[in-house]
Structure 1
Amino acid sequence: MKLVHRNIFKELLSIFGLSVCCLLGLIIMGRMLQLRELFMSQNLGIMDLLQLFIFLCPFFMLLITPIACMLSVFLVFLRMNTDNEAIALKANGVSLYQLLPAPLAFSLLCTVLTFVVSFVGVSWGMDMFKAKIVEYARTRSKLAIQAGVFNRDFPNLTFYAKQVDSEKGEMRFVFVEDRTLKDTSVVIVAPYGRVETNPKEGEVGIVFRNGRIFRQHGDELNILQFGRYKVRLPLGKLLGGFSFDRDKPKEMSFFDLWELYRTPNDRMLHDTNYARKLETEFVKRWALPFGCLILGMFAFPIASVFRGLRQQYGLMLSMGLFLVYYSLFSVGTGLGEAGTLSPYIGLWLPNILFAIIAWVGIYYANMEKTIPLVTLIEHWRAKRAES
């Protein structure tokens, strides 16, 4: 049995790896299309894009791992039933319960992986992604200030610098015309400027030193001297509307969510919609990882029920079953964020429902009996075929 379990576990890992790569590639390609305006403004190479892909992976792995776990278990045991391997094992006195350790250990491994992604991976990936975007915007994008060129890429701002050190972000003899104020013209002249980035806030700021501000409003002209003056550039608007909101619950780590859940901040106390979203995300970070274990055990008996089904149809069936699970999960998420239903009920109900089906399915599959519901469906189909 150790040899059987080892071979099943290896096959589960190989299909899991293939499923994750395919699903991750499809999702990231779709995401990249949504962010095409963001990347069109960047002069990025292949390695730069690869880095950004890696940083986005944890965010999507939270969803991909449960479906990949279910696909792996379903396809492996569907193949074993189709190739009569399961029948041969049963003929030698091996029950379905004795085959359970391999998919159980595999599902637990996927659960642990998803917990790691849920607790720290999501926030780490999004923080690194935003930090890279800010860095590229400062040094490699079309938004980077070039020496001796009037830069008008920033809305209502014109920048000019006689000398620019792109590596250090330093500029000499800087001129800025600010037209952000209505009926007011502001010109900033300084001998020295420096680009400073704040990835968490999504800002690129240009700090001027020892310069002058010429402010004209109508016929009135004011001249101010300063030691330090900063112009902030919101990257979200400059880079295709990309959001740099650091308080988005979906991009927080589990520990940040837990801290806010225990000690609500001012935003949570005054914004009930935000508070509901944060609570729903907190519950989701627990419920979705357990979905790996439950879906893996759910796929185990389902493969026996549909033995003889071709691999391509089995793939479609398993995707359809996961779609049912995820639809219930999405409905629970929406109701939780809207305040209609507690997220503890809405997000755990799909897990409980599929866990019950898995337990009943394993019992009937081990007894080599058909689930009554499946019998009713087959009887209904037979009657329709006769008529």
Structure 2
Amino acid sequence: MKLSNQSLIKKTIYKIITPWYSIPLIDRWLLGQIIPPMIFAISAFTVISLSVGVMFDLIRKIVEFGLPLFLALKVLFFSLPSFLVLSFPMAVLLSTLLAYGKLSSNSEILALKSLGIKTSRIISPAIALSIFMTGLTFYFNDNLVPASNQLAENALRGGIGKSFSTEEGKENIMFSRYGSRIEKDTNSPTKLNNYLTHIFYAAWFKNKKMYDVTVLDLSRMGSRQILKADNAIFDKVNTSWIFSNGSLVSIDSNGQAAVVEFEKYEYPFDEGPLQLAETPKDAAKMTLKQALEAEKIYQQTGNLKEIRRIRVRIHEKFTLPFACLVFGLIGSSLGSKSNLRSSKSQGFGLSVILILIYYVMSFLFSSFGVKGLLTPFIAAWSPIIISLSGGYFFLQKSRI
């Protein structure tokens, strides 16, 4: 009885530890052909992109600005996730192309087809692995990359200090608010809510404080107010802005102006300008949730270009990981062609060409989306749809 229990425990542990063996043999064999070159490709692409994107710049900062070596390595480590998400799709393409190209050159693909196994079944492990890499890329891009990029920036700023200008801040903050205006005679709000009522401008923002601030108040029909101040901070308790060292110019309907100088002035206004200033311009520093919140803030400003840009970037949060599936389909379909006899160098060269075509196409469509020539959805997803169509075409060709 005791031996029987021990045997049962061993079998249970074996099933838990080795789920690999629950996968059909043909899939295990094909995955075994794909995974080793994928690990190599991820390492190679990450090292190359990291060297070009960060390492050379860090070496320059070590020499010119005295950045400590330990902090440079820390910045390099924190920068790693952002380059991994770029390497994953490229690694999927190269690994599937090499693995299936090798099987094709050894006539193993032909042998599988002679047994009645369809091409779609042969490439299904590559598609399954591509879907896994798509999910992994999305997780990295949405959870690790924004946080790691911020840590890398903070480490670089702390390491260089005052010897290099890396002050955290943002310039030219412009926030527009739309709503109803107060009618001149009745002092009641107008029925329409699409009037431009306020323009809030700050030349510089740092440490939750606005500098060189100008507010144009158009909320009353027939009159204008122009508020200028050296700086301003937001009071969350009273939902107002406290301006320091400025002047308030009021212009009535007759064109007469009244000027009031002040040291402190409390102005009722929401925290929209503060939210806008704290929103990163680089989508790589935002999670999907933060990007959706940034879209709402930009909608309040009425800045159509920024609205289009953030909407394109939101869609690209999905299309970047989806490139793994695209490249997995293209690589396995091309590699499965019976007439393909590709060496590693040829496979790498073909991968570089396909990657270049895809990312140039993505850049062009993204630019069209930001410019407003295409809707954000079409701009972001067109490269994926075109590439999937190409992958399906190659798949049909490989069946011949």
Q: TM-score, normalised by structure 2?
A: 0.61
Say whether the 8 Å CA contact 2:298–2:307 is kept in structure 1. Answer: no
Pairwise CA distance, 1:154: 8.0
Residue 282 of structure 2 is aligned to residue 259 of structure 1: no
Alignment of 1:44-59 (within 5 A): 44-45=68-69, 47-59=70-82
Question: In the superposition, relative to structure 1, how do residues 31 and 43 fare at CA in structure 2: closer, same or farther (>3 Å)?
Answer: same
Partner of 1:195: none
Say whether the 8 Å CA contact 1:75–1:314 is kept in structure 2. Answer: yes
Pairwise CA distance, 1:72: 1.1
Partner of 2:149: 126
Residue 147 of structure 2 is aligned to residue 113 of structure 1: no
Question: In the superposition, relative to structure 1, how do residues 344 and 102 fare at CA in structure 2: closer, same or farther (>3 Å)?
Answer: same
Pairwise CA distance, 1:36: 4.8
Question: In the superposition, relative to structure 1, how do residues 154 and 28 fare at CA in structure 2: closer, same or farther (>3 Å)?
Answer: closer
Partner of 1:302: 334
Pairwise CA distance, 1:200: 11
Distance 1:199 1:12 in 2: 50
Give the aligned residue type for 1:12: I
Pairwise CA distance, 1:314: 2.1
Question: In the superposition, relative to structure 1, how do residues 200 and 359 fare at CA in structure 2: closer, same or farther (>3 Å)?
Answer: farther
Greater Cα shift, 57-66 or 280-289: 57-66
Distance 2:317 2:326 in 1: 15
Distance 2:142 2:83 in 1: 14
Say whether the 8 Å CA contact 1:123–1:252 is kept in structure 2. Answer: yes
1:317-361 CA distances to partner (integer Å, 9 max, x unpaired)? Answer: 122122111111110111122222223112211111121222233
Q: 1:64 aligns with which of 87, 112, 121?
A: 87
1:73-93 CA distances to partner (integer Å, 9 max, x unpaired)? Answer: 111000100111112222333
Alignment of 1:364-379 (within 5 A): 364-366=397-399, 369=400
Question: In the superposition, relative to structure 1, how do residues 124 and 154 fare at CA in structure 2: closer, same or farther (>3 Å)?
Answer: closer
Partner of 1:82: 105
Partner of 1:209: none
Say whether the 8 Å CA contact 1:118–1:254 is kept in structure 2. Answer: no
Residue 370 of structure 2 is aligned to residue 337 of structure 1: yes
The percent of aligned pairs where both chains have the same amino acid is 19
Partner of 1:11: 33
1:194-214 CA distances to partner (integer Å, 9 max, x unpaired)? Answer: xxxx9999xxxxxxxxxxxxx
Distance 1:200 1:3 in 2: 60
Question: In the superposition, relative to structure 1, how do residues 154 and 85 fare at CA in structure 2: closer, same or farther (>3 Å)?
Answer: closer
CA RMSD of superposed structures (Å) = 2.7
- Please state whether the residue corresponding to 2:297 is helix, strand or coil: coil
Partner of 1:221: none
Alignment of 1:1-387 (within 5 A): 2-32=24-54, 33-34=56-57, 36-39=59-62, 40-45=64-69, 47-138=70-161, 143=162, 246-261=280-295, 263-265=296-298, 269-305=301-337, 306-366=339-399, 369=400
Say whether the 8 Å CA contact 2:65–2:164 is kept in structure 1. Answer: no
Say whether the 8 Å CA contact 1:65–1:114 is kept in structure 2. Answer: yes
Partner of 1:227: none
- Please state whether the residue corresponding to 1:28 is helix, strand or coil: helix
Distance 2:31 2:207 in 1: 42
Distance 1:200 1:36 in 2: 33
Q: How many residues in Structure 1 have an aligned counterpart in Structure 2?
A: 267
Say whether the 8 Å CA contact 1:249–1:277 is kept in structure 2. Answer: no
1:113-138 CA distances to partner (integer Å, 9 max, x unpaired)? Answer: 11112212220111111221233235
1:42-80 CA distances to partner (integer Å, 9 max, x unpaired)? Answer: 3422x4333222211222233221111111111100010
Question: In the superposition, relative to structure 1, how do residues 17 and 355 fare at CA in structure 2: closer, same or farther (>3 Å)?
Answer: same
- Please state whether the residue corresponding to 1:264 is helix, strand or coil: helix
Question: In the superposition, relative to structure 1, how do residues 54 and 315 fare at CA in structure 2: closer, same or farther (>3 Å)?
Answer: same
Greater Cα shift, 78-87 or 57-66: 57-66
1:242-285 CA distances to partner (integer Å, 9 max, x unpaired)? Answer: xx984422321221001222x2248x625433333222211111
1:2-39 CA distances to partner (integer Å, 9 max, x unpaired)? Answer: 22311321332221121111111111111233455544
- Please state whether the residue corresponding to 2:117 is helix, strand or coil: coil
Distance 1:14 1:199 in 2: 48
Give the aligned residue type for 1:81: S
Say whether the 8 Å CA contact 2:58–2:72 is kept in structure 1. Answer: no
Question: In the superposition, relative to structure 1, how do residues 36 and 274 fare at CA in structure 2: closer, same or farther (>3 Å)?
Answer: farther
Question: In the superposition, relative to structure 1, how do residues 136 and 339 fare at CA in structure 2: closer, same or farther (>3 Å)?
Answer: same
Give the aligned residue type for 2:293: E
Give the aligned residue type for 2:39: G
Distance 1:359 1:325 in 2: 16
Distance 2:26 2:45 in 1: 28
Say whether the 8 Å CA contact 2:308–2:370 is kept in structure 1. Answer: yes
Distance 1:48 1:14 in 2: 32
Question: In the superposition, relative to structure 1, how do residues 154 and 18 fare at CA in structure 2: closer, same or farther (>3 Å)?
Answer: closer
